[in-house]
Each structure stands twice: as structure tokens, then as C-alpha cells.
A and B are shown apart, each in its own frame.
Chain A
Amino acid sequence: MSFDIPDDRRYQDSHEWALETETETDADGRIRIGISDFAQDELGDVVFVELPDEGEDISRGSEFGVIESIKAVSDLYAPVSGEVVAVNDDLFDAPELVNDDPFGDGWMLEVDAADADELDALLSANEYEEQVA
């Protein structure tokens, strides 16, 4: 089985992705966070996602939330540090979006990154692919 691993973003070994999203109002952009196609497939049907509130800080490598599928519960680990500036509320009513579109509508958070270098330290798509292959 092969999994989508888009090369427009970075990954960490606990299967979260981080994507820089430039906006008109914020030249530095924000970092959008979600989990990979591999991760959603491993979990199976996602039924519940617990995420921090806007304004909370998350810290690279630390737990920022929890994802539950029918068969398993798994912690979510922050790929970068920063303040949460947006939460994907759609996941509370439709957690299956994580299965259906893990890199798109199934995103979880956007943060104001505290340290831009953290993003570069993550795995490239190729490096991540080697890990899940």
C-alpha cells in the first residue's frame, strides 16, 4: 500500500505534518498542522479529536492534543512551537475529515511559529517516505 506524502510540507517521525501558509496579513505566515495519510490509515476511522484552544501555546515535541479512532487512541505531538491562532472546528462534528482528506480539510491547527528554524529541522517528504516505507 502506498500513501500520499505531498512534498510541499515537512514531517516529523510521529507522523504530524507542518505546512507554511502565507497570508496577506502576516508576511511570516502561519504553520498549519495535521497528521499524515499513513497515520490516518494506521488509526482507522477517526471518531474524536481533542485540540487546544486558540491563544494557547504549543511546544515542539510536546503533546498538543489527542486523536481517537474506533480502535485506538493516540497523542498528537507538536512539530513546531508557537501560539495557536486557528483551530479546525469542523473536526469536532466531522472527525472523519482526518481520514478523508488528511492534508487538506482534515488539518488541525494553525500556529504563529515561535522559531522559523524549527520547520527546517523537520523531515522532508523524501525522508519521511523512507521512514514509513
Chain B
Amino acid sequence: MPLQTPPLRGIHDERGAKFTEFGGWDMPVEFDSIQAEHEAVRDAVGIFDVSHMGQIHVTGPDATTLMQRLTSNDVTRLGVGDSQYAVLTDEEGIIIDDTVIYRLPDEDGDPTYLFVPNAGTDEETHERWINYRNEFDLEATVDNRTDEYAMFAVQGPDAAELVAAVADESVTDLNRFQAMTATIDGIECWTARTGYTGEDGFELIAPWEDAERIWSQFECQPCGLGARDTLRIEAGLLLSGQDFDHESNPRTPYEAGIGFTVALDTEFVGRDALDRAREDGAEEELVGFQLIDRGVPRHGYDITNTDDRVIGTVTSGTMSPTVDQPIGLGYVPSEYAEPGTTLNVVVRGRSKKTRVEPTPFIDTV
């Protein structure tokens, strides 16, 4: 299957980006160096093209019910311009995907939402919404608009200043997880104070055909998926398909450490299983860790206890550009999850002494 390309593939190529396949998309992984891009976001500001992320638009009299039944959090708490982090779970409460849901201004008097599934999952998610709508005879229109929108993330301590300088409206009035329509170079963009880096910042959803005009407004470090990954690991944020995966690493939100996305007082697919799972307590938990010995932890490496028995698996790891230490995330039995616990990560057959650490690894907004 040919890779999907973001609207600015050519612009990024001219800028000297290296590309990688991610979720079926051909995306820039690195423009200058991961280290330099990472530091720009921590110290100042950087911009990411995240047009591989999906966008699904839901509107209609039953739009709120449909969203509520298929996501774990409480959608009824969202006023227009609010957003929330949530997961999609199956009947067993296992995470299928994670997402951010935005409540857009009402359309034709009906509640309206835009949510952002991960790269490559938009078609199956769209189908899931349609099937559920039809099964329960709900009145809602569900559109997959992934190919209609570009998405950019402007992130870093100087992001607010930079976005404010190009937007007609006062975007700095937005609180974390609030969003509004802002006009940039005459183009209306859905502008949210959200991100995936642990820093202050904005995510802009703009019409695909206007992508270049929006992108060119921001004179700052362009950043690729490489820095996006190191930044989110330091911030202790999960990557779907890596830190949990419906097939290869099935996890509940409690195991994944994101129980805060579960509103048990709402009705959604997986709710009853999660109610039981919460009472039983998670047998395994996702923890942060830091290697004490020299080495770099990577996805799939074994975690062992001090008796060298395999007790878990690394799901994400990197040399942290900010704290300059090898760090990672992985699942271990709950009795090993306490920060300060000594474990090992097996790097190419050799045990590297490792300590469980609280996440995030850095100060975040």
C-alpha cells in the first residue's frame, strides 16, 4: 500500500528533512537533529507537522450520546471550546486507541465534536462510530476528515507568544485544553492549547489546502517525529501501538496509568469490565525508569528483577536529551512499581541496573 503523504511533504523535503513511515504515512522524522529540535521545544519553541493524526467530525442531535458511549471520559462535561483526553475501549475494557476530543461550536443547533485518533486508525475508528450509530439508531453524522485537515503543533515556552503574534484573536486567553477558532493569515484554524511534549503550546487544525500558508507563518525550529517521541517520553505520555496495543500489548487504562480518563459514572463500551478491573486493582503497571548503568533502553527489551527473572517489558525508551540519562517506560508487576525499586533492563544480553522513577521525568505544564 502506498504511503499517505502530508500536505507539506515537498516543503519538508526541500528543508532537508529525513522521512520515516509511521502509521501508513510518510512523515518527517528529523529536520536538523533530534537533540537540537528537542532542545528548541524545551527552551524556546518548535513546530511539528502532525498531519498524520486523524480527524473525525461528529454532529447531530445524538452526537453527545454517541461520543459518550464510545469513549471513556465524560463528554457531557465539555462546553464549546473544551477538550479532553480519553481512550476507546472494547467490551473487556482493553484500550483500542487514545484520543483528544474537542467540542466544536454547535452546528445547526446540534452538539458537534472533532476528535483525533492516532495515525492510521482513522478508518477503523470511523467505521466503529458508524456501526455503533446504526446499531443503536442514533441520529448523528460521522465524517472522517483526516484528508481534509493539516495539523500542526507549536510547542515550547515561547509558543504562546509566537501563536499570539500571528493570530487575529487573543489565543493566550485559552487555558490548557481549551480551544477556539483563530484566524491566521486570513485562514480559520481550530486552535487548541494542547500538545504532546509536556510544554505549553498549541495544536492547529487547518484546511489541507492552506497548510503551507499556515506553516510558513511560524519562523521557528521545524521538528520531526524523532523529537516528538523523546519529548513525550520525558513527559511520561503514552504512544498508542507502543505503550499499549490492542493486539500485541492489551492493557486497561488502569494498567497504563491513565485511569483518570475513565468516568465510571458514564455508560460506555467497556465500562462494566473497567469497574471490575478497578476494584480488583491492576496486577501490572506502567512505570517510568532510569538506567543507572550505561546503555539505551528500547521498545521490546526485557525488564528483570534483581534475581534476573524476566518480570516485564520496555515499551518506550531513549537517551533523554533533557536529563541526559537513559530513560524509559515499561510494564512491571505492581509489587515492583514503587519509585526507587531496583530492576534491570537487558540490553543485548547484558543486565543494566535500572531504577523505577516517577513520571514525568521533567517539570511539565
Contacts and interface: CB of A to CB of B under 8 A. Distances in A.
Contacts of A45: 33-35, 321
Interface string A51-87: 0000000000000001011110100000000000000
Interface stretch (B101-109, B293-301, B307-315): B293-301
B34 A48 contact: no
Contact of A48 (B16, B30, B319): B319
A47 B16 contact: no
B226 interface: yes
B29 interface: yes
Given A1-B16, A68-B319, A70-B318, A47 B296 contact: yes
A38 to B, nearest CB: 13
Contact of A70 (B294, B321, B348): B321
B228 to A, nearest CB: 11
Interface string B202-243: 000000000000000000000000100010000000000000
A92 B295 CA distance: 11
Given A1-B16, A48-B296, A71 B30 contact: yes
Interface in B76-99: none
A71 B35 CA distance: 11
Contacts of A29: none
B296 A44 contact: no
Contact-residue size bin, chain A (C-beta under 8 Å from the other chain): 10 to 19
Interface residues of B, number: 17
A70 B321 CA distance: 9
Contact of A71 (B226, B295, B348): B226
A66 to B, nearest CB: 7
A131 B30 CA distance: 23
B296 A71 contact: no
Contacts of A70: 34-35, 226, 230, 318-319, 321
A44 B319 contact: no
B30 A44 contact: yes
A69 B227 CA distance: 13
18 contacts: A44-B30, A44-B33, A44-B226, A45-B33, A45-B34, A48-B294, A48-B295, A48-B296, A68-B319, A69-B34, A70-B34, A70-B321, A71-B29, A71-B30, A71-B34, A73-B296, A73-B298, A99-B33
Interface of B: 16, 29-30, 33-35, 226, 230, 294-296, 298, 318-319, 321, 326, 348
Q: Which 10 A-B pairs have the closest CB atoms?
A: A47-B319, A45-B35, A70-B34, A68-B296, A71-B226, A45-B33, A48-B296, A45-B34, A44-B34, A70-B319
